[in-house]
Amino acid sequence: MEVIDNNNLEKLNALNNSYVLKIVNEFVTLCKPSKVTVITDSKKDIDYVRDKAVELGEEARLGLKGHTIHYDGFSTMANHDQARDKENTQVLVPKGELDSYPWINTMEREKGLKEILEIMDGCMKGHECVIRFFCLGPKNSEFSILALQLTDSFYVAHSEDLLYRAGYEEFKSLNGTDNFFYFIHSSGALIGDPPVTKNIDKRRIYIDLKEGRVLSVNNQYAGNSLGLKKLALRLAIYKANNEDWLAEHYFIMGIHPKGKNRISYFCGAFPSACGKTSTAMLPGQTIVGDDIAYLRVCQDGYAHAVNIERGIFGIIKDVNAKDDPLIFTALTTPRETIFSNVLVKKGIPYWIGDGRSIPDDGFNFSGNWNKGNKDKDGKEIPHAHPNARYTIRIEELDNADPNLHNPEGVPVHGIFYGGRDSDTMPPVVESLDWEHGVFLGVSIESETTSATLGTEGVRTQQPMANLDFMVVPLGKYVENHQKFGNRLENCPKVFATNYFLKNKEGKYLNGILDKLCWVVWAEGRTNDDFEVIKTPIGFIPEFSDLKTLFKQYLDKDYKEEDYIEQFSIRPKRLLEKLDRIEAMYKKEKEVSQFFWNLLNGQKIALMKLQNEYNMEEISPLLLKR
């Protein structure tokens, strides 16, 4: 490898790992960069990455210290490199297993490798390749998985420094084994100023489960190029479900009830646009992570969870001072932050829904922009992309939890599963037991909205908000969750939330911050603070407890008529939901019997309730008697 000097070669040799050397040799030979630089955990090396991103034009400095802006490739509003490319994201599986994964894009492994390795031949010509080492999870932790990354994008490498813990020294503890994931990425040929990927028609993101690796080429957008994030989630789900732990699309938050000297940790999984980030960032609470968690059974009888990341790669749309004060403050004060695909005018970034006056011109993801600009298809170009992002370290937030980097993780007291549902589920329901909680999680539905997909109210199934990343048969995934909880002495309570219930006139029955009361009620239930009303779908709150919580946390008078409207049981709607869930899971092979027992048991109980009351909506006050 003539492109690597002795100093950088010594850094590789110091790891004493032949597998790392083999991977580096293979892909440096294939991708043909002009230079190879090895980045250790040293401040000097990490500063080199950040400064080089600016020097090469992949990022530009903004007005506030530490702030930079990055742009991804753009042709039209329908053709760009500014969102996850689902069509060209393929999971590579052996030829005989293609039918085992009906929910995701799969490709026969040998065919996929042949295609992408041909595309990657020479993809780094004229570029510098950086070799990175990261730790997915806290350092010195049994939870964590190490990750090797080769990339020719300094923006990608800089983003990883904000999002992940440095892992060069951790690699030395592998003792020469191959127990790590690895990720090869290239932006491919670049064009323009700022430099963006030229050949996005040859964009490929291939996940090779057999080798524990991701190969990605001809993209810069972090969701496609940052292999350690959602792409690594697929690798971890595959590994976890073939071992004895869980890799989940969870946030982790600490809930701090007023007047109680305690903290309870909750995980939560919500499909897109269902309130995941707003729940994790509720005022008065703390955040461990906003996206991905690894869970293991620990000696204290609890499941413990760690955030595999140290930062947030978040959608910036609608982050404003009123609704997201903590994030907005962090984004408008000096600290190391990368913005992507927003409007910049005089060094100030502007994004959709930021609550500020929008300049009539500036520079954005389409180049020089003026209000009213249209792409070549005649579609108006907004001042910022709807999927524009920010990248920031969690410890930069005032609500960062002190256990963010705890190698033992945090004990999980409860789990939230949330969906978007206008007419069926109450705002919060507690599962009857662990297995029923698994059923609630794998029964998540999310309604589409006209603003995003053009057809409003279409329900899609989103088991544990993880379906897009499912790389094991769904039946196996469900069974593994059942077994995981049954191994726990102190099992977390499970709750289903729904912030989107509407009345018959189409008005939302939940206020934006009402979720704080549902969350605090759930925390109280994990400590036996409240009594409940039992229903066929789970336990629901009593009115008196919610009235107290609304006054205590929101200084709001919660009315009994609101409670009845929100927490009435709707047997007909619930039975229709069960029919949809049944139809989905009948497509799966070998779904555990406990799932069918729960589904059929709920059907019988709901039909009995329907016959007993003969009402479309049954008041919780009737059920309490």
Give one DSSP letter per residue of 296-341, joined into a string: EE-TTSBEEEEES-SEEEEE-TT--TTT-HHHHHHHTSSS-EEEES
Final residue belonging to a domain, choices 208, 225, 242: 225
Domains of the chain: total: 2
Judged against a pLDDT cut of 70, whether residue 70 lies above it is answered with yes
- Does residue 337 sit within a domain? no
- Does residue 72 sit within a domain? no
- Find, among 422, 482, 480, 412, the residue nearest to 450 by Cα: 422
- The strand pair at 303-307 and 410-411 is best described as antiparallel
Pair (262, 116) in one structural domain:
no
Decide: helix, strand or coil at residue 610: helix
Instruction: Give the pLDDT band of residue 577 (cuts 50, 70, 90).
Output: very high
Judged against a pLDDT cut of 70, whether residue 1 lies above it is answered with no
Residues 43 and 614: their CA atoms lie apart, in Å, by 69
Pair (183, 44) in one structural domain:
yes
Answer for the pair 294, 236: CB distance below 8 angstroms, yes or no: yes
Pair (609, 506) in one structural domain:
yes
For 379-410, the pLDDT digits (tens) are 999 999 999 999 999 998 999 999 999 999 99
Pair (418, 532) in one structural domain:
yes
Residue 491 bears catalytic tag? no
Question: How many beta carbons lie within 10 A of that of residue 450, not counting itself?
Answer: 9
Residues 499 and 520: their CA atoms lie apart, in Å, by 15
- Does residue 361 sit within a domain? no
What residues contact residue 377 under an 8 Å CB cut-off, 6+ apart?
Answer: 76, 77, 78
- Does residue 611 sit within a domain? yes
Final residue belonging to a domain, choices 225, 240, 261: 225
Residues 101 and 107: their CA atoms lie apart, in Å, by 10
Judged against a pLDDT cut of 70, whether residue 281 lies above it is answered with yes
Q: Which domain holds residue 503?
A: 251-307+413-624
Question: For the domain that residue 111 is a member of, what is the CATH number?
Answer: 3.40.449.10
pLDDT at 455: 56
Pair (111, 40) in one structural domain:
yes
Pair (465, 514) in one structural domain:
yes
Q: What is the mean pLDDT of the chain?
A: 95
- Token reading at 173: 């503890």
- Does residue 380 sit within a domain? no
Final residue belonging to a domain, choices 225, 243, 277: 225
Pair (425, 574) in one structural domain:
yes
Residues 550 and 554: their CA atoms lie apart, in Å, by 5
For 28-58, the pLDDT digits (tens) are 999 999 999 999 999 999 999 999 999 999 9
- Does residue 583 sit within a domain? yes
Pair (205, 259) in one structural domain:
no
Pair (443, 526) in one structural domain:
yes
Catalytic residue chosen out of the listed positions 31, 129, 274, 298: 274
pLDDT at 449: 57
Amino acid code (one letter) for 350: Y
Amino acid code (one letter) for 234: R
Residues 545 and 4: their CA atoms lie apart, in Å, by 66
For 121-154, the pLDDT digits (tens) are 999 999 999 999 999 999 999 999 999 999 999 9
- Does residue 396 sit within a domain? no
Pair (539, 600) in one structural domain:
yes
Pair (581, 465) in one structural domain:
yes
Judged against a pLDDT cut of 50, whether residue 452 lies above it is answered with no
Instruction: Give the pLDDT band of residue 277 (cuts 50, 70, 90).
Output: confident
Judged against a pLDDT cut of 90, whether residue 180 lies above it is answered with yes
Segment 446-473 shows an average pLDDT of 76
For 527-564, the pLDDT digits (tens) are 999 999 999 999 999 999 999 999 999 999 999 999 99
Question: For the domain that residue 272 is a member of, what is the CATH number?
Answer: 3.90.228.20
If one compares 323 and 120, the residue with the highest pLDDT of the two is 120
Q: For the chain, what's the residue count?
A: 625
- Does residue 558 sit within a domain? yes
Pair (270, 185) in one structural domain:
no
pLDDT at 458: 80
